[in-house]
Amino acid sequence: KQGAMGKQFSQQVEQSAKLVTDPVVTEYINRLGQNLVRNSDAQVPFTIKVIDSDEINAFALPGGFFYVNSGLILKADDEAELAGVMAHEIAHVAARHGTKQATKADIAQMAMIPIAIMLPYGWAGYGIYEGLNFAVPLAFLRFSRKDEAQADFLGLQYMYKAGYDPNAFVSFFEKIEAENRRHPG
């Protein structure tokens, strides 16, 4: 079920987004991601693609459909920082955070989420979309603090098992938070 749902949502994402097709970039990100997946608890194969977007973001859909924005790739100072963000998203899929608490009604409405993600301004665009009173549940976008903590914990383990310094994950998020405080909005 998760794979079919994820595949449907991934098709919507790919219709809405411009994918990077440079084979050097796509092969590198796929190799990095697959190494993390091999060192994770994930029970599904991952399909990893790069979206041509300046947003510093990555997201994974149920069933292992995983997208990394080019903005994230460019913002990371080294491979370990990029691996940290990717490992966190892989952990959300491995722990089934997006679907384990979803009701049937939520799942029916989730079909709009990939479209919302692709709005201008990324996640801020999603906030605007939500503010327009569209009833879109946030099961894939907003996880509980417990789910985020678990994804952090698992992601750090996956990074370490894959040979990366887990401190890079922490330093990358601190760098992004500091930048957001300097340039809010």
In the set 55, 81, 147, 152, the catalytic residue is: 152
Structure tokens at 83: 């691996």
Residue 152 appears among annotated catalytic residues: yes
Tokens of 155: 């992601």
Distance in angstroms between the alpha carbons of the first and the last residue of the chain:
38
Compute the distance between CA of residue 168 and CA of residue 76 in angstroms, rounded to an integer. 10
Q: 19 near 49, Cβ under 8 Å?
A: yes
pLDDT tens for the chain, 185 residues: list them.
Answer: 667 777 877 888 888 889 999 999 999 999 999 999 999 999 999 999 999 998 888 888 888 999 999 999 999 999 999 999 999 989 988 887 665 555 444 544 454 444 444 444 444 444 433 443 333 334 444 566 787 788 888 999 999 999 999 999 888 888 888 877 887 75
Query: Is 55 in the active site?
Result: no
State the Cα–Cα distance between residues 90 and 100, nearest whole angstrom.
15
Which of 55, 81, 89, 147 is an active site residue? 89
